[in-house]
Amino acid sequence: MTAGLNLAQQEAVNYLHGPCLVLAGAGSGKTRVITHKIGRLIQAGLPPNRIAAITFTNKAAAEMRERAKTLIGREARDVLICTFHALGVRMLRQDGANLGLKPQFSILDSDDVTGILKDAGGSVDAATARQWQWAISLWKNMGLNASQALAQARDDNEKVTARIMARYEERLSAYQGVDFDDLIGLPLKLLQQHVDVREKWQAQLGHVLVDEYQDTNTTQYEVLKLLVGEHARFTAVGDDDQSIYGWRGATLDNLRRLPLDFPALKVVKLEQNYRSTSAILRAANNVIGPNPKLFPKTLFSELGEGEPVRVVDCDNEGHEAERTVARIQSTRAGMLAGAGGDVQQEWRDFAVLYRANHQARVFEQALRKAQIPYKVSGGQSFFDRAEIKDLCAWFRLWINNDDDPAFLRAVTTPKRGIGHQTLQSLGEFAGKYRVSLFEALFSASLASVLAARTVGCLHEFGRYVNDLEFRARHCNGADDARSFLLEWLKEIDYEKHLYDGEESERLAASRWTHVLEFCDWMALRCGGQIDDTAGVTTASETKSLLEVAQTISLLSTISERDTDQNVVTLSTLHAAKGLEWPHVMLVGVTEGMLPFKLGDDDNPTGRADGPMSEGIVQRLQEERRLMYVGITRAQRSLAVSWTKRRKKGREMISAQPSRFIAEMALDKTTTREDPREKLKALRAEFAKKAEVSAAAAAAADASAP
Ligand code: ATP
Ligand code: MG
């Protein structure tokens, strides 16, 4: 298990019986330590199901599961490899009853939460509701409940938000619903307040490994501490220079506190970078230089100097996209000296990385025009599509009849003659008797507030939901699940609903295709052919349709496992964390984009060297870490581009290269790329290829009988 590891990595992998922190820069093999250590622990006799490895995203979990399988074989299937959130679902499912939670609780997504908050706060304005949502989420991540938040509120605005939070909490518990933050907060409460549950989990887990530790928040750290208990058998790996989720409550304090909370902590530092050439690594080290250091570290690479890092000046977005595509084409054709040589590069070897999702569009257009296959990762998720949310609302209602948001969506999708007025009366009735909408519907006294015919309609719906739940529970295997789902869609006439609601037939057809794809996806998971239910269940467990349905809200994209597609990746910098590509293009490295919106209104004096507030300084540091993450994704070649003009609102304004470009301290004589030279070279290459194939054709002709 220690083959392919350097001495420091081996030290971390072989240290089995106490707390261990691997603290090292990008590409130094931290994630590799985690995978190998899983193997080492099994080799040392720890049963696989007593090992938990926690990753930052589902995608990272899926990848680690693959790597572990290759390294360890079948036994890797039983290791719990998942995100903190998926672990939370598992804990709440097993032990949530201690907190009054039914095992069939619903997981509410961000849109549900916005809706509930609008209602709880009496606002019609989604933007206001989202501000509340944001504030409440930060409080929850700091471990505060509504009354604690109220106690520490600094102004009227915060007080109002804290009061809305109290109403929000009430509703969630009435709906038997939890939001994403609860998936961490409630397990923490369980472990803190229920000694038996805590002891059970501590006995169950023999070793806990955490990747990307620098991006954990306060609550996650508390959960970790309680899970590992006194023995503190855990391995955390991280890099303070890559902490990029401060805006979501992640805190570097977790790194600072670790040696204090665990005096026996063994700290291992890794210094060799195995990913990037020296030229790329030097740019990365230069950029991160100005940031204050939590722990000093130096990184070196033995992969040689490599191709210089290029800075590409562009006129505007469109020009930038063109040049990016040209670079991909010429590099792929093997034109880049020292960065792949004569070997043909695959599409999957390229990534275009940017700061914000909306930047992807122009690059998508340019790639399409050039007929280059690509995928956008970290973009709109399959599960955010309206049609998929419709189906999920129905599933949620089968699983948990008390899920009122799901009830409201299902009962109106498709329309079944139950209108807004009826639902409002039902809602008031339910509120008065403190029951869920579903429970209210079967109440004998409902007839006193609604007409008999209306009550009849509601009963029919209620009975239908019960019937579906029964059928879903008794569905076994993929074929069974598939035919049940299709039957149900026919019963509610969902395809017609899509065509009725969509102006364009083409759009309706594509929505219906998504629905079918989704049914297939569900069916495969029921059959146990695919074991990626976010790690909430392990592979060896078989799943009923209801079980699979409960884990859906945790998965963020449907094709997370398609890592093998041979396509160019477009990704945000945040979503690129932990990954690597031979050729990376960082685009939009323009002041105002990266660092993001730091200029104009942030500096009260308006002078470039004016004073900056503490908050701005920290944001700038986080943006710098983001740039560092971007640079260090590249293995063999890196190009950084910026535009002389950029959009600001609806206007085009003139723009400057990002300060981070100067901070890379590149050698100016070698870094500017002359596009004309490139084109000349490309033409020469094509001419050469044409000559070779003409010669080959001639040779073939000559040898023909
Ligand atoms: P990041 O900070 O970006 O998450 P990391 O520290 O987790 O990076 P890995 O992804 O584990 O780094 O490793 C980076 C690359 O180096 C991978 O391709 C990995 O296979 C390779 N690698 C790691 N350790 C070694 C080693 N000892 N020998 C050869 N290659 C290695
Ligand atoms: Mg890693």
Amino acid, single-letter form, for residue 231: H
Tell me the C-alpha distance between 675 and 667, whole Å.
Answer: 18
CA atoms within 13 A on the CB side of 213: 29
Quote the pTM value. 0.80
Burial of 219 (0-12, 13-18, 19+ CB in 10 A): buried
465 lines ligand 1 (CB under 6 A): no
Are 339 and 331 within 8 A, CB to CB?
A: yes
Active site residues: 30-31, 211-212, 242, 633
239 lines ligand 1 (CB under 6 A): yes
Residue linked to tokens 């290829």: 689
Burial of 513 (0-12, 13-18, 19+ CB in 10 A): exposed
Angle in degrees, 0-180, between the axes of helices 84-95 and 195-204, rounded to the nearest 10: 130
> Alpha-carbon torsion 469, 470, 473, 475, what sign?
negative
316 lines ligand 1 (CB under 6 A): no
Tell me the C-alpha distance between 551 and 542, whole Å.
Answer: 14
What's the pLDDT tens digit per position in 688-702? 666 656 655 555 444
Residue 203 has phi, psi (to 5 degrees) of -70, -35
269: its two tokens: 């530092």
Burial of 27 (0-12, 13-18, 19+ CB in 10 A): buried
Tell me the C-alpha distance between 489 and 508, whole Å.
Answer: 15
Closest Cα to atom 21 of ligand 1: 274
Burial of 689 (0-12, 13-18, 19+ CB in 10 A): exposed
Cα Rg for the chain, rounded, in angstroms? 28
Burial of 420 (0-12, 13-18, 19+ CB in 10 A): exposed
Residues 6+ apart with CB under 8 A from 29: 5, 6, 9, 270, 272, 274
Tell me the C-alpha distance between 496 and 416, whole Å.
Answer: 13
Residue ranges in the chain modelled with pLDDT below 50: 337-340, 533-534, 537-540, 556-562, 600-609, 700-705
Closest Cα to atom 2 of ligand 1: 26
276 CA → ligand 1 middle, Å: 10
Which ligand sits nearest to residue 24's alpha carbon? 1
Which ligand sits nearest to residue 37's alpha carbon? 1
3-state secondary structure of 585: strand
What's the pLDDT tens digit per position in 300-309? 999 999 999 9
pLDDT at residue number 376: 86
Nearest-atom index, ligand 1, CA of 274: 16
Closest Cα to atom 31 of ligand 1: 274
